[in-house]
């Protein structure tokens, strides 16, 4: 208990909504009992419940006892709240009326005595009291609560920072309502309560559709940042309809092929053994096959909040028997090497014998992507397969070039509810193109009585830290796993904490909130706190499939802003992936005759360039040279990510350890590319490919790159400026040591300064030229091509199939010059142009945007994202149309067949970044958090938590107004700027700007 007089000023009490991770951890201490002070959730002027409070009480009462206490008469209290199933304590607890209307003896000494009596009547021992109190009268209740209780006080303007014994604080009735909503969300995430199909926390598919199965497999992948598994039917094998796939972060293998007279090699993220493999049969009949079954109904639901995949269906077999199958699966977030599959079979109208076949299937290849199927695809070779117990087996394989060991161990047990069932187990070991090992398990079933098979699995690779040997670890940890629900408890709790950090709230615009959360789920399943200990990058297509061979591109440019503001330690770990490969980048630059670090456009295990030498055009069937390694702007993305991480965190240790060195070496590379043109007196960068990707060169030299790409040149200047700034931030001795270590002399940095005032930017027709000579290219007959082909997003393929060349036309696959206005604010772009001696007016920017908008085919998910961002302040209606497209890009597979091969992680993260940074005008620069909200009315109000300079903040944005609340702590104040007005925000404080 808290002793009287030991309270803290309210400004020093942690804010409940920015401390949700603490509440999440504590709320599982026991069955909760919620007690509300009526005065804390009413509009004081009208003495009516705040809008939405009644609905949240209705939600909470489904999960735990709820009591409302007040000085009002109990009957009056009951009428005001009007929710059934609630306890009402009038007269501060003198009168207690239960949900059934029966009265119980109260205690009227004070609010504390009333709350104490309520807990005796409602909860009893072993419960977790949660008390939301209001006003000085609540202090006696805070002091009366047991030590394990959660106490929250409602703070009003007139409270004048009075002391309180409460552990947490909320600012007014609106925040109290939101706290109730969060509590309902958290309690609703309990393992035995499924979210309804219309919940913004679920993605549901009704009916089985073989044609859409691979799309659903990709979209409903489950993972934990260490490995992920596609949502394939457990009875299926790889083919045109299904593709079981499991991928571990950073596990690559290289194979060679002969193509068009050339020897090429490709490094691929490896499809690991299929741990899901499970089917069954009835009375020695045919093994169940989802594609040949007579399905009576079928539903598949991805529980986004808990990262659990459910499948439920009924089928009728050839004997007329009806069987119901319910399935749950997850990849444990709290134990990064564990996963589980639960399959429950219920006979309807029959009894008999069911035989399960549960295997670990090592006979897998990389064959998901049709255009790769003609190339080598067998990456695994068998090492060992053995039974380790009557119900358990282990499978060991290794990659055949990189020699990465992989082991999986599985245990299968039978249950009827909480009762263990004895089954008949028989070892199965097949070797047909690879080891398959497991068990056939037979059990008698009775009409209407469900029987459940729990398949518990561990997965280890030789790349995992702190292990001895993969198979040994897999077997040891399998023995430590309890039952399915035991593992699920920890998994759900960990996801609850993650959602406290990552969830985003807004209203309206159809399924927008559901899809935004769905996108966050996939970001976290690919990159989670578990990833922090791994040496891995950001795979462009997640861990969901084999497109792009699992390579790392520049998509981290879109992903890191989401991580920086929530889990910056993870960003730092992922930046280290680049730092550890800088040696390879410097060698690549030297081999190309340059200085500094030349990062590869596509990266895999060791940081060498993994871009294809040849590229297959599926429209023409021809293999053509692939010059995409000329996309040297990848280094800009790495430098940008380094700087943005520092701006958010102020992590000087990072700059000292690696960040400044990376910036210097990347700046050095771009400076070495820049050559002085004597005629113009300006520097030029030649022979590159910009973000557009369509233009690999000029019509007469289609693979040699273009000159003076605007994005590359301007951002190279930005990189040099940031490198110079980073050096000034280092302590003097560190600065001296680093410059000596790198051989960085004043003559070199003086040349950087010169380049940043004389870099070439080309213009034509009053717009920024995408590259030098762009205006000499032909215009495309857009209407004619659309009429002929319909979807012309991949004009490069369309034109090549016609024996034409996209290099000859003024067309873009995606934003190129316009990328400047995505990565930088208009003010930052103008400042750079002014430094270079160019004037760039608002009219110039508008003309440039409109010019390229009319010439872009949107051949990537990135394109719509960037255009939504750019249009957000000038053309809100069109920006929202692009935003809707970004949301639909994967879940509706709007590119026509790419998502089954893997999600587009950058677009998913970028859709959230549109909400958190673009529509709010949020920037982190100049040691200040800058906000300039233009939040769309159609999305209601935005609410999300973020991290900045050691502070946990909560932002609420509506229209052009913003409220920022800081969690309690001892950090120095930060500065918040909104439209030129600057406020200091201290821990525990609130600022409102607009």
Positions annotated as catalytic residues are: 693
Alpha carbons 126 and 32: distance in angstroms, whole number? 9
Q: What is the token pair recorded at 690?
A: 């910009």
Q: Is residue 372 left, alpha or beta, with left meaning phi > 0 and alpha meaning psi from -120 to 50?
A: alpha
Report the 3 state secondary structure along 86-149. Answer: CEEEEHHHCEEECCCCCEEECCCCCHHHHHHHHHHHHCCCCCEEEEEEECHHHHHHHHHCCCCC
Strands 252-259 and 66-69 come out as unpaired
- Of the candidates 305, 361, 310, the one whose C-alpha atom is nearest the C-alpha of residue 500 is 305
Q: What is the token pair recorded at 40?
A: 């804390």
364, burial (CB in 10 Å: exposed 0-12, middle 13-18, buried 19+): buried
- Of the candidates 338, 451, 138, 507, the one whose C-alpha atom is nearest the C-alpha of residue 516 is 507
Distances (CA, A) of 386 to 360, 367, 460, 493, 569: 11, 27, 16, 34, 40
- Of the candidates 854, 979, 967, 985, the one whose C-alpha atom is nearest the C-alpha of residue 16 is 967
Report the 3 state secondary structure along 119-137. Answer: HHHHCCCCCEEEEEEECHH
Alpha carbons 693 and 815: distance in angstroms, whole number? 10
Residue 413 φ/ψ, nearest 5 degrees: -130, 150
Our measurement of the distance from residue 784's CA atom to the centroid of its chain's CA atoms, rounded to an integer in Å, reads 40
Alpha carbons 645 and 809: distance in angstroms, whole number? 38
634-649 helix and 568-580 helix, angle to the nearest 10 degrees? 140
Alpha carbons 434 and 456: distance in angstroms, whole number? 22
Distances (CA, A) of 640 to 722, 744, 825, 914: 9, 21, 13, 18
At 482 the three-state DSSP class reads coil
Please name the residue ranges forming H helices in 905-948: 905-913
Alpha carbons 412 and 278: distance in angstroms, whole number? 10
Alpha carbons 569 and 571: distance in angstroms, whole number? 5
Report the 3 state secondary structure along 756-770. Answer: HHHECCCEECCEECC
Q: Tokens 């040297």 map to which residue?
A: 632
Q: From start to end of 667-709, where are the E strands?
A: 675-677, 682-684
* Sign of the Cα pseudo-torsion (838, 840, 845, 851, in order): negative
Alpha carbons 356 and 462: distance in angstroms, whole number? 31
Our measurement of the distance from residue 772's CA atom to the centroid of its chain's CA atoms, rounded to an integer in Å, reads 38
Are 970 and 987 contacting, i.e. CB atoms less than 8 angstroms apart?
Answer: yes
Are 808 and 699 contacting, i.e. CB atoms less than 8 angstroms apart?
Answer: yes
Strand partners, 271: none
Are 670 and 596 contacting, i.e. CB atoms less than 8 angstroms apart?
Answer: yes
Report the 3 state secondary structure along 801-842. Answer: HCCCCHHHECCECCCCHHHHHHHCCHHHHHHHHHHCCCCCCH
Strands 66-69 and 87-90 come out as parallel
Are 219 and 899 contacting, i.e. CB atoms less than 8 angstroms apart?
Answer: yes
Q: What is the token pair recorded at 675?
A: 């050559």
């Amino acid at each position: 208990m808290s002793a009287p007089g030991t309270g803290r000023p309210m400004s020093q009490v942690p804010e409940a909504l920015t401390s949700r991770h603490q509440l999440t951890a504590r709320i599982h201490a026991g069955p909760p009992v919620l007690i509300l002070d009526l005065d804390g959730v009413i509009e004081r002027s009208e003495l009516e419940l705040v809008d939405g409070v009644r609905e949240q009480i209705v939600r909470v009462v489904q999960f735990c006892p709820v009591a409302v206490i007040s000085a009002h008469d109990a009957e009056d209290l009951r009428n005001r709240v009007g929710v059934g199933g609630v306890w009402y304590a009038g007269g501060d607890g003198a009168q207690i009326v239960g949900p059934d209307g029966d009265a119980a003896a109260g205690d009227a000494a004070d609010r504390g005595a009333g709350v104490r009596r309520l807990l005796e009547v409602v909860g009893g021992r072993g419960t977790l009291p949660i008390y939301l109190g209001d006003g000085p009268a609540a202090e006696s209740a805070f002091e009366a609560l047991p030590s394990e209780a959660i106490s929250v006080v409602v703070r009003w303007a007139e409270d004048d920072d009075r002391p309180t014994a409460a552990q947490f604080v909320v600012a007014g009735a609106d925040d109290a309502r939101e706290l109730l909503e969060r509590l309902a969300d958290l309690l609703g995430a309990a393992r035995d309560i499924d979210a309804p199909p219309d919940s913004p926390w679920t993605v549901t598919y009704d009916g089985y559709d073989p044609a859409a199965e691979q799309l659903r497999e990709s979209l409903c992948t489950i993972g934990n940042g260490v490995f992920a598994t596609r949502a394939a039917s457990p009875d299926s094998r790889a083919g045109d309809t299904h593709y079981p796939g499991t991928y571990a972060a950073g596990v690559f293998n290289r194979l060679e092929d002969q193509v068009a007279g050339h020897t090429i090699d490709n490094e691929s993220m490896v499809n690991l053994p299929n741990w899901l493999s499970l089917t069954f049969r009835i009375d020695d009949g045919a093994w169940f096959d989802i594609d040949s079954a007579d399905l009576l109904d079928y539903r598949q639901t991805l529980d986004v909040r808990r990262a659990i995949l459910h499948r439920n269906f009924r089928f009728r077999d050839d004997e007329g028997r009806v069987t119901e199958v319910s399935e749950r699966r997850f990849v444990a977030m709290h134990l990064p090497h564990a996963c589980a599959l639960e399959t429950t079979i219920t006979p309807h109208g029959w009894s008999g014998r069911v035989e399960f076949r549960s295997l670990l299937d090592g006979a897998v290849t990389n064959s998901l992507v049709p255009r790769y199927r003609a190339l080598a695809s067998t990456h695994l070779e068998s090492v060992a397969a053995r039974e380790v117990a009557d119900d358990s087996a282990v499978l060991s394989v290794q990659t055949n070039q990189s020699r990465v060991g992989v082991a999986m161990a599985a245990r299968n047990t039978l249950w009827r509810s909480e009762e263990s069932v004895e089954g008949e187990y028989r070892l199965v070991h097949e070797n047909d193109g690879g080891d398959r090992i497991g068990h056939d398990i037979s059990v008698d079933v009775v009409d209407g009585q469900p029987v459940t098979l729990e398949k518990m699995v561990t997965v280890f690779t030789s790349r995992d830290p702190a292990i001895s040997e993969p198979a040994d670890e897999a077997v040891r940890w399998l023995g430590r796993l309890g039952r399915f629900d035991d593992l699920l408890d920890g998994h759900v709790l960990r996801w609850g904490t993650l959602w406290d950090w990552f969830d985003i709230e807004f209203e309206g615009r159809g399924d927008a909130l559901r899809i935004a959360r769905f996108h966050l789920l996939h970001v976290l399943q690919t990159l989670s706190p578990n990833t922090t200990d791994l040496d891995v990058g950001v795979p462009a297509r997640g861990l969901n499939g084999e497109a792009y061979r699992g390579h790392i591109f520049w998509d981290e440019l879109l992903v890191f802003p989401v991580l920086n503001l929530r889990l910056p330690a993870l960003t730092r770990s992922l930046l280290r992936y680049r730092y550890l490969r800088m040696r390879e980048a410097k060698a690549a630059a030297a081999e190309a005759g340059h200085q500094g670090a030349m990062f590869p456009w596509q990266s895999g295990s060791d940081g060498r360039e993994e871009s294809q030498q040849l590229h297959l055009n599926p429209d023409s069937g021809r293999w053509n040279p692939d010059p995409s390694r000329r996309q040297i702007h990848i280094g800009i993305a790495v430098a940008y990510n380094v700087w943005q991480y520092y701006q958010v965190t102020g992590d000087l240790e990072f700059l000292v350890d690696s960040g400044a060195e990376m910036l210097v070496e990347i700046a050095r590379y771009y400076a070495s590319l820049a050559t002085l043109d004597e005629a113009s007196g300006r520097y030029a960068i030649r022979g590159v490919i910009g973000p557009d990707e369509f233009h690999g060169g000029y019509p007469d030299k289609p693979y040699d790159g273009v000159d003076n790409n605007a994005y590359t040149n301007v951002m190279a200047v930005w990189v040099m400026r940031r490198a110079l700034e980073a050096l000034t931030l280092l302590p003097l001795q560190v600065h001296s040591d680093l410059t000596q270590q790198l051989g960085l002399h004043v003559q070199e940095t003086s040349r950087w300064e010169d380049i940043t005032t004389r870099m070439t930017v080309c213009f034509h027709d009053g717009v920024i030229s995408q590259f030098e000579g762009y205006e000499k290219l032909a215009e495309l007959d857009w209407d004619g091509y659309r009429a002929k082909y319909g979807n012309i997003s991949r004009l490069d393929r369309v034109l090549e199939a016609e024996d034409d060349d996209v290099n000859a036309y003024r067309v873009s696959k995606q934003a190129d010059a316009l990328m400047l206005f995505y990565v930088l604010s208009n003010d930052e772009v103008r400042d750079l142009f002014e430094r270079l001696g160019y004037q760039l007016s608002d009219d110039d920017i508008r003309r440039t945007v409109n010019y390229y908008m009319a010439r872009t085919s949107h051949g990537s998910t990135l394109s719509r994202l960037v255009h939504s961002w750019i249009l957000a302040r000038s053309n809100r209606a069109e920006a929202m149309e692009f935003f809707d497209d970004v949301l639909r890009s994967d879940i509706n597979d709007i590119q026509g067949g790419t998502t089954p091969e893997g999600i587009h992680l950058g677009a998913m993260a970028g859709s959230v970044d549109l909400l958190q940074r673009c529509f709010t005008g949020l920037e982190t620069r100049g040691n200040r958090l800058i906000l300039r909200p233009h939040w769309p009315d159609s999305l209601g109000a935005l609410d999300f938590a973020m991290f900045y300079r050691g502070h946990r903040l909560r932002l609420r944005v509506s229209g052009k107004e913003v409220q920022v609340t800081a969690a309690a702590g001892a950090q120095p104040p930060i500065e918040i700027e909104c439209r030129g007005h600057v406020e200091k925000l201290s821990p525990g404080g609130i600022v409102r700007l607009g």
